[in-house]
Amino acid sequence: MQNNAQSHVFYQTRLHRPRLDRAEGVYLWDVNGKRYFDGCSGAMVSNVGHSNPRVLDAMRRQMEKSTFGYRLHFENDAAEELARRVAELAPAPLDRVFYVSGGSEAVESCIKMARQYAIARGEPERYQVISRYPSYHGSTLGALAITGYDTLTEPFAPMLRTMPKIPAPTCYLDRDNLSDAERGLRYANMLADKIEELGPSTVLAFVVEPIGGASTGALVAPDTYLPRIREICNHYGILLIADEVMTGAGRTGQFLGCDHWQVVPDIAALAKGFGAGYVPLGAMLTRADIVDAVLDHNAFQHGFTSAGNPLACATGLAVVKEIVEQDLIANTRTVGAALKSALAELMDEFPFVGDVRGKGLLLAMELVQDRESMEVLPPAMNAANRVVDIAYDRGLIVYARRTRGGNSGDHLMVCPPLITTLQQVDEIIEKLRDSLRQFSSEL
Ligand code: PMP
């Protein structure tokens, strides 16, 4: 009998891409021998580059010892050592690490930890989790309930307990007379208004991407924003959950995105660059008092079979060591600054590049009809995806998403691995400039 099996991918089911053969450093090769610059680290995942010999070596060594030991049966050294390393890099007092296998699982875990903590504290009426629109927090139903991205949530609307949202601080679209600092406070204060509207005693947590990811295209709020959010959460006794799935593990030039503002969340989600594409690995990071309250009350009613397995943790440990020993966070700041200014220079040639933003190597450019009004390009044009296709043909991989929460707005994420050199910035820019020229000629 004929076998018609196919595997399916995220979002686009009819993407015709060549098959991957091998990858090394910042490059990938397809089976035809064509080389691609990984200009977005997959999906902001491959932070330490591909086929890193020290990570592969650590994986091999762990594989020869054990790959799986169920966590109810055994502790494992790699899991404990990785937790110690993470606690050294993360701000105090975040030193409790709960492993998962990806970003959606990490976000679900944060929400469930927050909820059980409220129950343990004698506040079972707290259940509403406020998040932002647009935002992306994962594909599972719980993570989708706090996601603000219409095309992803709409098919599942009747099945979701859709949670309340406040607008993301898209200050670059505002045409008012406020200063940046005032705008930051204005958006942050929307959280207080929402809490008042919902009834403060019913609100459990606020979930935020400290720097926007794929949903808003590396959106950086004014410096007043996140500290004010922290104050509001403290004032109402609600937990601040940082979704650091994309921003964490050094991507933005600090270990956590929140570190740019010295804001410490109560709970944080890590994934993507934490396993860096070598293994599926994520984590929920939180404080001892939260974990202890939950464990003492009724244990944490949650967990995943594969979580914390020795192979995943040994790999995560090698990735984190690589970040520290190769000084990749400092490199991210230097190379990110150079890449960001080179991207901004492209605005001189291409009037449809409306904005360049981001921190470290979490960078994006938004494509618009008109830079003054920031009006979007016609959605049917599918502009960012068109640029992605052109760049792909030219051997540069970048990442396209919609910017305005629905099916409109275009941005390109340019987020190469944290090992990228200054010379490689020139390579990215050259390919991107050629791609934008071709796109421009098609307009
Ligand atoms: N949160 C954020 C901020 C993300 O960017 C993503 C992935 N794009 C997720 C959660 C979900 O992660 P995963 O795809 O690993 O489940």
* Confidence at residue 249, expressed as pLDDT on a 0 to 100 scale: 98
- Please give the backbone phi and psi of residue 191, each rounded to the nearest 5 degrees, phi first: -70, -45
Q: What's the 376 CA to ligand 1 centre distance in angstroms?
A: 25
Per-residue pLDDT of the chain (443 residues; tens, 9 = 90+): 677 777 666 655 556 789 999 999 999 999 999 999 999 999 999 999 999 999 999 999 999 999 999 988 999 999 999 999 999 999 999 999 999 999 999 999 999 999 999 999 999 999 999 999 999 999 999 999 999 999 999 999 999 988 999 999 999 999 999 999 999 999 999 999 999 999 999 999 999 999 999 999 999 999 999 999 999 999 999 999 999 999 999 999 999 999 999 999 999 999 999 999 999 999 999 999 999 999 999 899 999 999 999 999 999 999 999 999 999 999 999 999 999 999 999 999 999 999 999 999 999 999 999 999 999 999 999 999 999 999 999 999 999 998 888 888 999 999 999 999 999 999 999 999 999 999 999 98
Q: Which atom of ligand 1 is nearest to the CA of 143?
A: 10
The interface predicted TM-score (ipTM) is 0.99
The answer on 371 and 262 residing in a single domain is no
The answer on 414 and 314 residing in a single domain is no
Q: What's the 372 CA to ligand 1 centre distance in angstroms?
A: 32
**Which ranges of 3-76 would DSSP assign to H, the alpha helix?**
41-44, 53-65
Q: What's the 246 CA to ligand 1 centre distance in angstroms?
A: 7
Atom 14, ligand 1: residue with shortest CA distance:
103
The answer on 218 and 178 residing in a single domain is yes
DSSP state at residue 364: E
Query: Position of tokens 């830079």?
Result: 371
CB 103 near ligand 1, within 6 Å: yes
The answer on 178 and 95 residing in a single domain is yes
CB 212 near ligand 1, within 6 Å: no
The answer on 260 and 307 residing in a single domain is yes
Query: For residue 78, is it within any domain?
Result: yes
In DSSP notation, 210-247 reads: SS--TTTTS----TTHHHHHHHHHHHHT-EEEEE-TTT
* Confidence at residue 14, expressed as pLDDT on a 0 to 100 scale: 56
The Cα 209–Cα 66 span in angstroms is 35
* Confidence at residue 98, expressed as pLDDT on a 0 to 100 scale: 97
Instruction: Name the domain count of the chain.
Output: 2
The answer on 90 and 227 residing in a single domain is yes
CB 214 near ligand 1, within 6 Å: yes
CB 413 near ligand 1, within 6 Å: no
CB 45 near ligand 1, within 6 Å: no
The answer on 312 and 213 residing in a single domain is yes
* Confidence at residue 108, expressed as pLDDT on a 0 to 100 scale: 98
Query: For residue 385, is it within any domain?
Result: yes
CB 108 near ligand 1, within 6 Å: no
Q: What's the 69 CA to ligand 1 centre distance in angstroms?
A: 26
Report the alpha-carbon angle 282-287-288, nearest 5. Answer: 115
Which range of residues forms the domain containing residue 367? Answer: 20-51+327-442
* Confidence at residue 15, expressed as pLDDT on a 0 to 100 scale: 64
Query: For residue 14, is it within any domain?
Result: no
Q: Which atom of ligand 1 is nearest to the CA of 215?
A: 5
| pTM listed for this prediction | 0.97
The CATH number linked to 383 is: 3.90.1150.10
Q: Which atom of ligand 1 is nearest to the CA of 140?
A: 16
| Domain boundary pick from 279, 309, 325 | 325
* Confidence at residue 359, expressed as pLDDT on a 0 to 100 scale: 98
Q: Which helix (H) or strand (E) holds 96?
A: strand 94-100
CB 271 near ligand 1, within 6 Å: yes
What is the best residue among 11, 45, 136, 402 to mutate for testing ligand 1's pocket, by most ligand atoms within 8 Å of CB?
136
CB 213 near ligand 1, within 6 Å: yes
The answer on 332 and 309 residing in a single domain is no
CB 107 near ligand 1, within 6 Å: yes
The answer on 127 and 32 residing in a single domain is no
The answer on 171 and 85 residing in a single domain is yes
Q: What's the 251 CA to ligand 1 centre distance in angstroms?
A: 14
The tokens for 301 are 């009613």
The CATH number linked to 291 is: 3.40.640.10
